[in-house]
Amino acid sequence: MPPVQELFTPAAIAANGTRAFTQGQGIGGFLCTVGGVLNLGLGSDGSGTKLVNTLNVTAGIYYPLPTSVGADMAIVLSGNAAGTVFYV
């Protein structure tokens, strides 16, 4: 059996930035380049119900976030966090 291969689109998120996702997309994970805090919440600005609340992220670490987006949601970074999100 061949190994599983997954392809994701990378998108940089600037320090303290937000990246919105719409229904039908999928999130693979987040590669932190500058440490801080990551939140994943419902709504196009992430201000709704928190799915991931106050995750402290460290530069150089990849955080798996395997999520099928069933409703608008967003990754919101704070505390100077920055990095790259991988999505489809």
Domain ranges across the chain: 9-87
- For the chain, give the DSSP string: -PPP----EEEEE-TT-EEEE-TT-EEEEEEEEE-EEEEEEESTTS-SSEEEEEEEE-TT-EEEEEEE-SS-EEEEEETT-EEEEEE-
Check pLDDT > 70 for residue 1: no
Residue 7 banded pLDDT, cuts 50, 70, 90: confident
**pLDDT tens column, 18-64:** 999 999 999 999 999 999 999 999 999 999 999 999 999 999 999 99
Exposed e or buried b for every residue in 8-18, given b needs 16+ CB within 10 A? eeeeebeeeeb
The CATH class, in words, for 9-87 is mainly beta
